[in-house]
Amino acid sequence: MASVKVQQAHAVGAAVAKTKLTAFEADLAKYKARLDWSGNTAQVKGIGVSGTVQVTDAAVAVNLELGMLARAAGVDAGKLQNSIAKRLAAAFAG
């Protein structure tokens, strides 16, 4: 399995940080994946992908595992990691 790990620092607190992840959640939905929240941790569930999103008062950490189906579909772990990093940076900019 290929791993994708992205961490984004922020200074908005955990509750506000979760609200800033709505665009990220919408992007996941395009790929038939979703976040199932329990407190400040979400399980990522989808075809060919699993993992977690953890929100703290100072950072958001995304840890994904790409399964064989994702790789067979041509998902490049490096490109996905860069895309997630850019989206999180944009969400917390300013």
| Domain positions in the chain | 2-91
Query: What fold characterizes domain 2-91?
Result: TATA-Binding Protein (3.30.310)
Asked whether residue 4 carries a pLDDT value surpassing 80, the answer given is yes
Q: Closest Cα to residue 55, out of 71, 72, 35?
A: 35
Q: How big is the CA angle at 61 (ends 31 and 90), to the nearest 5 degrees?
A: 70
pTM greater than the 0.85 cutoff: yes
In terms of C-beta density within 10 A (0-12 exposed, 13-18 middle, 19 or more buried), how is residue 15 classed?
Answer: exposed
- Tens digits of residue pLDDT in 41-90: 999 999 889 999 999 999 999 999 999 888 888 889 999 999 999 999 99
